[in-house]
Amino acid sequence: MSLSDTPHARHIPDRLASPLSRALKRWEVLLFLVAAAIFVINSFASPYFLDPWSLSDATYNFTEKAMIGFAMALLIIAGEIDLSVASIMALTSTAMGFAVTLGAGTPELVAIGIVVGLACGAFNGMLVAGMGLPSIVVTIGTMSLFRGISYIVLGDKAYNGYPASFAYFGQGYVWWVFSFELALFAVAALVFGVLLHRTNFGRAIYVIGNNPVAALFSGIRVARVKFILFLLTGVMSGIASICLTSRLGSTRPSIALGTELEAVTMVVLGGVNILGGSGTIPGVVLAALVMGLVTFGFGLLNVPGIVMSIFIGLLLIGVIALPRLWARARRRR
């Protein structure tokens, strides 16, 4: 560090930044404005947008992914990742479908969904937290493994014949246009928000993400926290799978193909640092809304899906690049 840097580092501003300008610099506020802008543009662009039932239908394109996204956000903040989530969904769905052929009812199916998700998460957690293997490699492996089992069990066949009451999770409504999935999404957001932002466990996640060694020396049981995070991701994938299977009313081994990347996209778009250490649940919620609104808005205008992919891709690159460009510009000033 050169001498010339020192005064800059000690610079004390005359006046503290006003709450408004501080708020505007927050990623969440920016996302909120983007979401609001998309909402307004959509309502002008298509006469069909502002219809409560249509909007309710549209929420399905992000609720399941966001449920996984919340758990994934915690995992990424802690410096790990789980790319096997979509495959956990496939395996969970296959297990439920198999149980149906043995005559399982709705309560058993839900239990199976949660237990299989938990077991997959435990397997990932054991390899990463227990044996210290890199999570990206482990979960790329289990991504093939879990879906591979589904393919072996099902081949080109499908399970259907789910009980009628099972359809509630993916097709039922709690009140008026508010679907069960939307309610579950809200509850999950609340639970994960409190867990991350209001508990010691949440603080531990940030510390681990910023410096795992320091976390270890300050008495945080790093491996245990990581293991629990993998369990959580597994359970949320299981729950998302229950919803998706219920919504589709059938299981094929290709179910939820590609969901892992959409969940990671949502998390990163929500302002979670892909290298770990920072990010918020409200950010992920807003990112889910942005992605949902863009998908639905483009759908209403019959814009080909590839344009949507390009848009999300650019948004993602923007998310990563903007803060760095911003920081560089400020340093130069």
Partner 1 sequence: MSNWKTLLTSAAVATAVFANVAHADTKRIAVVVKALGIGFFDAVDKGAEEAAKQLGDVQIIYTGPTKTTAEGQIDVINALIAQKVDAIAISANDKDALVPVLKKAMDRGITVISFDSGVAPAGREMQLNASSTELIGKMLIKMAADSMPDGGKVAVLSASATATNQNAWIDAMKASMSAYPNIKLDEVAYGDDMADKSYREAQALMQKYPNLKAIIAPTTVGIQAAAQAVEDAKMVGKINVTGLGLPSEMAGHVHTGASQGFAIWNPIDLGYAATMIADELMTKKAEAKPGAVLDMGRMGKVTLDANGEGAMADPFFYNAKNVDEFAKIF
Residue 171 CB, nearest distance to partner 1 (Å)? 6
User: Which positions from 148 through 207 interact with partner 1, judged by CB under 8 A?
Assistant: 158, 160, 167, 170-171
Kindly state whether residue 256 participates in binding partner 1, applying the rule CB under 8 A. yes
Residue 193 CB, nearest distance to partner 1 (Å)? 27
Choice between 58 and 99, CB closer to partner 1: 58
Residue type, 102: L
Choice between 123 and 298, CB closer to partner 1: 298
Which whole-number Å values give the CA distances from 138 to 74, 115, 222, 259, in the listed order? 18, 21, 18, 18
Residue 160 CB, nearest distance to partner 1 (Å)? 5
Residue 65 CB, nearest distance to partner 1 (Å)? 10
Choice between 254 and 278, CB closer to partner 1: 254
In the block, residue with structure tokens 């998706």: 244
Which of 28, 34, 35, 46 contacts partner 1 by CB under 8 A?
A: 46
**Taking the CA of residue 44 as centre, how many other CA atoms within 13 Å lie in the half-sphere pointing to its CB?**
5
Kindly state whether residue 51 participates in binding partner 1, applying the rule CB under 8 A. yes
Q: Cα separation of 134 and 180, whole Å? A: 36
Kindly state whether residue 16 participates in binding partner 1, applying the rule CB under 8 A. no
Which of 295, 311, 315, 323 contacts partner 1 by CB under 8 A?
A: 295
Choice between 49 and 230, CB closer to partner 1: 49
Which of 106, 210, 211, 254 contacts partner 1 by CB under 8 A?
A: 254
Retrieve residue 6's tokens.
Answer: 């020192």
User: Which positions from 301 through 330 interact with partner 1, judged by CB under 8 A?
Assistant: 302, 304-306, 308-309
Pick from 292, 332, 294: which is nearest to 314 by CA?
Answer: 294
Q: Cα separation of 257 and 146, whole Å? A: 12
Which of 95, 109, 244, 266 contacts partner 1 by CB under 8 A?
A: 244
Contact, 232 vs 71, CB < 8 A? Answer: yes
How many other C-beta atoms lie within 10 A of the C-beta of residue 272?
29
Choice between 229 and 269, CB closer to partner 1: 269
Contacts of 153 (CB under 8 A, 6+ apart): 94, 98, 253
Choice between 52 and 134, CB closer to partner 1: 52
The neighbouring-strand residues paired with 211 are none
Which of 108, 148, 193, 247 contacts partner 1 by CB under 8 A?
A: 247
Kindly state whether residue 299 participates in binding partner 1, applying the rule CB under 8 A. yes
Choice between 261 and 321, CB closer to partner 1: 261
Kindly state whether residue 38 participates in binding partner 1, applying the rule CB under 8 A. no
Which of 54, 106, 211, 278 contacts partner 1 by CB under 8 A?
A: 54
In the block, residue with structure tokens 């006469």: 47
**Buried residues in 193-218 as b, exposed as e (16+ CB within 10 A):** bebbeeeeebebbbbbbbebeebeee
Choice between 221 and 247, CB closer to partner 1: 247
DSSP 262-302: HHHHHHHHTT--TTSS---HHHHHHHHHHHHHHHHHHHHTT
Residue 240 CB, nearest distance to partner 1 (Å)? 12
Helix axes 106-125, 135-154, angle to 10 degrees: 140
Contact positions vs partner 1 (CB under 8 A): 46, 48-49, 51, 53-54, 57-58, 60-61, 158, 160, 167, 170-171, 244, 247-250, 252, 254-258, 295-296, 299-300, 302, 304-306, 308-309
